[in-house]
Every structure is written in C-alpha cells, then in structure tokens.
Amino acid sequence: MAEKTELIGLSRDELQKALTDIGEKPFRAKQLWQWLYYFGETDFEKMTNLSKVLRQKLSEHFTVTRPKIVAEQLSVDKTRKWLLEFADGQRVEMVYIPEEDRGAVCISTQVGCAVGCRFCHTGSQKLTRNLTTAEIVSQFMVARDTYGEWPSPTNETRYLSNIVVMGMGEPLHNMENVVKALNILTDGDGIAISRRRVTMSTSGIAPHIVEALQRTGVRLAISLHAPNNELRSTIMPINNRYPLEEVLNACRQYQAEDGSRYITFEYLLLDSINDSLDCARQLIALMKKYTLRASFNLIPFNPWPGCAFKPSPNNKVKAFARELENAGFAAPVRVARGQDILAACGQLKSKKDAESK
C-alpha cells in the first residue's frame, strides 16, 4: 500500500484533492479541516460527525502528526520552552512568552540558519534544513495541546493569542512553506489567529519582503541592528548581499500599499559596537530619509556560550532609547524572558551545548 499522507500542512485545496483522490466528496474537506484545526483532533476515531466507515478509510490513507516533545522547561517567569523532534530526528526549539491575559508563541522556520549573524546562537549552527509547512504549523499546535486551548477560542481572551516568527531560522529563506503555514494558522475556520497578531521577523532578504507580506497579511519586523552598511555588514554578513538601501526600499514599498502599516525595527544593543548616541542619530536620519512609519524594539543582547559580544550597559540602553523617543519613535526596551532556561532571543538551538561543539 502507498505511504500514508500527512494531513497537517496541506492547504484547503490540497486537502480537498487528497479526499477526492480517495473517492470522497469535496465538502468533506471542510469538516476535516475543522477537526484538524478548530478542534485540534489527532485521532480519526474521535471525529464523530464522520461515519465509522469514513473514519476507518481516513486512518488507512492519512496521518495527523505532532512533533515529539523531547524536553519541556518552565522558567521562573512562566516562559515555557519546548525542544521538539520531527520524524527524521531533527530538532527545533519553540518558546511561549506569557503576558497578563495573553501571550506569544515564538516559532521556528528552519533547523539552524544560513544567514550567520555574528551575535546569534542559531546562526552559529549553520543550516541543516528548512522546516516543512506541517512542521511549522504543528509547533503552534503543540503549544495549544499543552495549554489545552482547543477548540479554537472564539473570543479574544486566549492564552496563545499571538505568533511571532522569531525562533530559529530565516523565514524568507523558506518562503513557500512559511507563507503556506501562516495562511493555515490564520484561517478563520481553524486555528484562527488574527493576521494582525502575527509578526514575521526577517534579517532583510529584500527581494522577498513585499511578496511574503502580500501573501499573508501579517506584520513585519526587520532585524536592523545597525544604522549603516559598514557596521551592519560586520555583524550581519547578509548585509553584503542585501544592503540597507534594498531592505529599506522594500519596507517603503510595503508601507506605500497601505497607509496604516507600521514596521517594527529590532535593534540589538551590543556594548561599544552599535550603542552610541551617534548610531541612534543615524537611525533617526535613516527613518526620515526613507519616510518610514516605524517603531523600534530595543533588544538587550542575550549572551550564549562562546559568543564574543557583551550586552550594552543599562545607562547606554536608556540614553539610546531616549534619543529615539525624543525624535518621536516608540522605542521600548524588550524585557528578556526565560533567561534561566535559555529561551530568550538568539539563544535557541537544536542541540545540547555539548553536542554542538
């Protein structure tokens, strides 16, 4: 018998085709979609509005798989980190960051990352492979399993209310799978996370920025981290390929399509590298030059074993933030969460430290 098809990760059209291929009516796709993504059901036997014969047939042709949870850690601040393993043994980390009455799940898009930013633990691991659509979507489904948040809550009081694509990997290096996954996660008949509550962060793969956002309608965050090409190229070698002008032009084009769009620029503060007031002033000038509606997210650097950088001291962070705020930009300093379990930005990895040496 042919190998079974995994249902998670299929688009609605693909699901419909999978059903008609086994001789079922197309309308079954809607019912099945609801079971998979609204109820979060993984067992065909429990899909009770389908006949027993159909349930049996589905289980003969299809699978509904979650990644295996290899480890789960809870921080003192309630941030939770999962180490997940896929069918081929590859692993990624995922993080849930709770706020008062909501919270964001930070999902990964690749095992490792080819971009190689100097300050990033993930980037120090090289790219192993892209995640499939199913692997991206099912991360969030694991978080929902853990918090018992099925069926999809219909009001706005959800624990898992937001998604940030800020885990391991560069999403725009895995464009097709990421776009498809985000469209599944935001589908109103299923998991139904509002597109406004999904933010995709990129290191600036300029030619894909506008297209990815047009096809998903999610929000954009750019990992800027430096106000000029010379400095940015030294900490983010990808800047040699896609220099600031190209990245910021793409941002401008994205905003030109819809006057309500804001972009978050992430700016990691590294001691004596990019944290001077002069850097802050260059940043302001850059925003004005490209007429961007922007807010900043100042990120304290999270050290990891073997990295060369140091976090910027508090007084410099404050002065940097004040400079941006005085120029009219929101510039909150991100509170590092889950540090005791190495769950903060840039600390995620797929292997234990001993193994990654």
Site string for ligand SF4, 114-143 (x = CB under 6 A): -xxx--x-xx--------------------
- Exposed / middle / buried, residue 201 (Cβ in 10 Å: 0-12, 13-18, 19+): buried
What is the binding site for ligand SAH (CB under 6 A)? 117, 119-120, 166, 170, 201-203, 223, 266, 268, 299, 301-302, 345-346
Closest CA to 281 of 337, 329, 238: 329
Considering the rule CB under 6 A, would residue 338 count as an interface residue with ligand SF4?
no
Q: With respect to ligand SF4, which residue has the nearer C-beta, 19 or 117? A: 117
265, exposed or middle or buried, with CB in 10 Å at 0-12, 13-18, 19+? Answer: buried
Is 203 a binding residue for ligand SF4 by CB under 6 A? The answer is: yes
Nearer to ligand SF4, 202 or 312 (CB): 202
Half-sphere exposure of residue 2: CA atoms within 13 angstroms, side-chain side = 7
93 catalytic per annotation: yes
Which entry of 93, 135, 170, 323 is annotated as an active-site residue?
93
The CB-of-105 to ligand SF4 minimum distance in angstroms stands at 17
Three-state DSSP state, 332: coil
Q: Which residues contact 46 (CB under 8 A, 6 or more apart)?
A: none
Which residues 221-250 are close enough to bind ligand SF4 by CB under 6 A? Answer: 223
Residues 157-186 touching ligand SF4, rule: CB under 6 A, are 169-170
* Minimum separation from the CB atom of position 169 to ligand SF4 (A): 6
For 168, the 3-state DSSP assignment is coil
3-state secondary structure of 128: coil
Q: Look at the alpha carbons of 218, 175, 111, 244 in this order and tell me if their dihedral is positive or negative.
A: negative
Partner from ligand SF4, ligand SAH, none contacting 116, C-beta within 5 to 8 A by type: ligand SF4
The contact set with ligand SF4 (CB under 6 A) reads 113, 115-117, 120, 122-123, 169-170, 203, 223
Residues with catalytic roles = 93, 345
